[in-house]
Every structure is written in structure tokens, then in C-alpha cells.
């Protein structure tokens, strides 16, 4: 069942060229040159109910703009979209009660008040009964282990604790669709892991549809089976995350731990085997074709004093960068 449908969506920002200097400022009073920025260009995709989809792209690609269009914050220049059967920018009350937006760099909690005060405010905004409110807050604070922090002013919470409270505030009304924009940005590794575990559990438990943007590939790999990639406002990939590995399906990374420091002559020999990704006094990382892997290992074992070596797949983020460069700008 399709819960999100996007067809030929475009968003163009109009602005005016501003030149420096008093003379140019005066001239701009009478004539200003119009410029246009195509933030989103002819994007089309559908998302099924219960999916967690990674929404990827470099900075300025149009990810946040797309989420703002789908949540009704922005009006499109052209194109159509439906979320749960609603046109987002019509901003109908029933639509607003059924989705949530979490932006890590935008606070929705009152800074100087305890999180519980902001939660109570949202309870009344969404017209949630007292019994349902207590049930949801009790469940979410226990899952995220922040029940003891409800009475603490938000400004005294750590970034990870505040992010958990933001999540709780957004889930009070049990939304069917959640837009998560960089939810783990700035968090330490433990906080990132806890938040990922929670998102995975919540999706499995309530079949909530989630669109997730993140620059941390751990978030995408551990939460999403499917990813949508945009670059320069244009959709360049839509498919299973596993398909991204096909970009480097015939390559492996050989990581070698060294006993002695390599000489310039040895480095020159190593680079003849494949792409040298990293080289220092303690280790070497080499990118090799799969059919050359065995010969490369034997060569390095004969010419270098190794203490250990590992063979790994090419990181998925490298595949994404390759897509940016080959299909994007």
C-alpha cells in the first residue's frame, strides 16, 4: 500500500542579485536582476506503508526542501504529492495530526522549561486524552531511558538526552509517517546506537513509515533496506541499499598491519597492484580487483613484514560518492 506518492515535484526559489557598493545598491532600487535556484527538480517516487527509507544526498542537494514539501511547510512550484491520501500543502487538520517532523537542528521544546511542560503543551495541541498521554509518555520514556529527566530544564540536558525528548514530543500523537532529518547529528556513538535501536523498534512495533536523512552511513545501513539519493535537486538513485554495492562489486579492500615501516620503493610496488587508499608506518589499505586479490596478498606477504591482514568490502558511502560524481552534477 502506497502511503507517500510524489510525482514531478519541483521547487524553485526566486531571489535577486545583490552587488556590493553604494552605487549598485542605489541602482537596485530601480532595477534588480532576478535569479532562480532549483532546489528540487522533477522528483518522483513512492513509499510503501511501514518502510524506513534512507533519503541521501550531499549538502544542498534538496533533501530538507523535499521533506518540507511533504510535510506541508513549503508549497511546490509545480508537481503533485500525496501523503496518507492528503495533499500536504493544503495543511488539513486531520493530516497534521497523522505525521511528525523531527529536525535535529530545530528545537521544538521550550529551552528554559522542563521537557514535561512542552509535552503537556503538545498533548493539548493534539487533543490527546490524559490516559493516552500517560500511556505514551510512560512507554517512550522507559524505552529511551529518560523518565528521570522529565523535570529537568531542557537547557541542562545533554544533546543526546535532548534529542530523545524531541523524539518523544514528536511521537505523542502516534504519527503514521515520520520525517527524520539528521536525528543523530552531533551525538556520541552510544547515543547514536540507542536512537537507532529505538527507531528500529518503533517501526517494527507500530508499522510507522519513516523517511530518514543522515550523513552517518551507520544510520542508513542499520535502519534502511531502501535508499533514495538526490543530487543537485534531481533524483539519481532509488532502490535497495544492497544495489549500491554493485558499483564496487568487483573490488575489495585489503588492510595490512605492518611490522616495519615501508620504504618508498615498496610503496611504489604496492601502488602498481591497485589503488592505495591509505599508507602510514603501521598499516596499508589497498583497493584491489577481486581477481587480483590472491596475487596481491602473495606479493605483499613476500615483500613486506606483515603482522595481520583483513579483506573487506568497499564502504557503501564510497558507492554513494561514486553515484554523486557520475550521475549528479
Q: Tell which residue, 328, 43, 56, 59, has the closest CA to residue 180.
A: 56
pLDDT of the residue at 327: 54
pLDDT of the residue at 15: 78
pTM for the full predicted model: 0.79
Q: Tell which residue, 89, 80, 92, 91, has the closest CA to residue 46.
A: 80
Q: Where are the beta strands (DSSP E) in 262-321?
A: 275-279, 283-289, 306-313
pLDDT of the residue at 305: 67
pLDDT of the residue at 314: 74
pLDDT of the residue at 245: 66
pLDDT of the residue at 303: 67
pLDDT of the residue at 328: 45
What CATH architecture does domain 2-245 belong to? Answer: 3-Layer(aba) Sandwich (3.40)
Domain boundaries, the chain: 2-245, 249-318
Instruction: Give the number of C-alpha atoms closer than 13 A to the C-alpha of residue 173, restricted to the C-beta side.
Output: 22
Contact 295, 205 (CB under 8 A): no
Q: Tell which residue, 204, 205, 200, 235, has the closest CA to residue 219.
A: 200
List, run by run, the mean pLDDT of 10-residue segments along the chain (329 residues): 95 82 72 84 96 90 92 95 96 94 83 94 94 95 94 92 93 95 87 92 95 88 92 89 72 77 70 77 78 74 72 74 62
Buried b (16+ CB within 10 A) or exposed e, 21-60: eeeeeeeeeeeeeeeeeebbbebebebeeebbbbbbbbee
Whole-angstrom CA distances from 196 to 61, 96, 144, 293 are: 24, 25, 11, 35
| The two domains 2-245 and 249-318 share their CATH topology (first three levels equal) | no
Contact 208, 176 (CB under 8 A): yes
The CATH code belonging to domain 249-318 is 3.30.70.980
**All three cell numbers of 157:** 540536558
Amino acid at each position: 500500500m502506497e502511503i507517500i506518492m510524489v510525482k514531478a515535484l519541483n521547487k524553485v526559489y526566486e531571489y535577486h542579485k545583490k552587488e556590493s557598493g553604494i552605487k549598485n545598491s542605489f541602482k537596485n532600487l530601480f532595477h534588480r536582476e532576478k535569479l532562480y535556484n532549483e532546489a528540487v527538480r522533477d522528483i518522483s517516487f513512492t513509499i510503501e506503508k511501514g518502510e524506513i527509507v534512507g533519503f541521501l544526498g550531499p549538502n544542498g542537494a534538496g533533501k530538507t526542501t523535499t521533506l518540507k514539501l511533504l510535510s506541508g511547510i513549503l508549497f511546490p512550484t509545480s508537481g503533485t504529492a500525496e501523503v496518507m491520501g492528503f495533499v500536504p500543502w493544503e495543511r488539513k487538520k486531520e493530516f497534521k495530526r497523522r505525521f511528525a517532523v523531527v529536525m535535529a537542528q530545530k528545537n521544538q521544546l521550550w529551552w528554559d522549561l522542563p521537557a514535561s511542560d512542552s509535552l503537556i503543551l503538545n498533548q493539548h495541541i493534539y487533543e490527546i486524552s490524559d490516559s493516552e498521554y500517560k500511556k505514551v509518555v510512560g512507554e517512550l520514556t522507559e524505552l529511551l531511558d529518560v523518565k528521570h529527566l522529565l523535570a529537568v530544564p531542557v537547557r541542562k540536558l545533554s544533546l543526546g538526552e535532548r534529542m530523545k525528548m524531541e523524539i518523544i514530543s514528536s511521537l505523542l500523537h502516534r504519527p503514521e509517517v515520520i520525517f527524520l532529518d539528521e536525528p543523530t547529528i552531533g551525538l556520541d556513538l552510544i547515543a547514536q546506537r540507542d536512537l537507532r535501536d529505538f527507531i528500529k523498534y518503533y517501526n517494527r512495533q507500530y508499522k510507522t513509515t519513516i523517511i530518514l536523512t543522515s550523513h552517518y552511513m551507520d544510520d542508513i545501513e542499520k535502519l534502511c533496506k531502501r535508499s533514495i539519493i538526490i543530487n543537485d535537486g534531481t533524483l539519481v538513485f532509488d532502490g535497495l541499499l544492497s544495489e549500491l554495492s554493485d558499483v564496487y562489486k568487483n573490488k575489495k579492500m585489503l588492510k595490512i598491519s605492518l611490522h616495519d615501516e615501508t620504504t618508498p620503493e615498496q610503496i611504489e610496488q604496492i601502488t602498481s597492484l591497485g589503488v592505495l587508499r591509505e599508507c602510514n608506518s603501521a598499516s596499508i589499505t589497498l583497493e584491489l580487483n577481486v581477481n587480483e586479490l590472491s596475487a596481491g596478498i602473495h606479493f605483499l606477504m613476500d615483500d613486506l613484514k606483515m603482522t595481520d591482514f583483513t579483506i573487506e568490502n568497499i564502504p557503501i558511502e564510497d558507492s554513494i560518492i561514486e553515484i554523486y560524481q557520475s550521475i549528479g552534477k
